[in-house]
Amino acid sequence: MILEISMRPFPAVRVNWKWWRFMPKAIEYHNKCKALRSIILPHRQEIIESMIEGTYHIQFHFAMAESWSNKKKQEFDWKPMQQKPDNDNLFKAFCDSVFYEQEQNDCEIWNNAYSKHWGKEDKIVFISD
């Protein structure tokens, strides 16, 4: 299965658990998680099984800036993105969106396979065997 999600990848937000409901960043984060959940809902069970079995790869694609020259865009297309946000925070946000129910937990994931790249458009690609 290859699932392409046309959405800008977003990192997990770390906030004080007592006050998270009042912080704009936390509210924005939870809204993005809800949006991602609604997109992956038809494939959720298959995604969970692939993640627990360790037979998946997640690609986070970030669109290159409009201000970049065409030459620079050609040079960076599909190159690894080595800037913030961190890979593990992107993965945590994806897991928070998939494993949102109490009875399922992302602690069962034993093999992490994810990468971030420059691309022509923002998207998240989930690939499973």
What pLDDT, in 10s, does the model give residues 14-27?
776 666 666 788 88
pLDDT attached to residue 18: 65
Q: Quick check: 50 pLDDT over 80?
A: yes
How much of the chain, in percent, has pLDDT values that exceed 70? 91
Structure tokens at 42: 């038809």
In what helix (H) or strand (E) does residue 33 lie, and over which residues does it extend? helix 24-40
Residue numbers of the domain that contains 63: 2-128
pLDDT attached to residue 83: 93
Q: Where are the alpha helices (DSSP H) in 54-118?
A: 70-76, 87-98
Domain count, the chain: 1
What pLDDT, in 10s, does the model give residues 76-114?
999 999 999 999 999 999 999 999 876 677 888 899 999
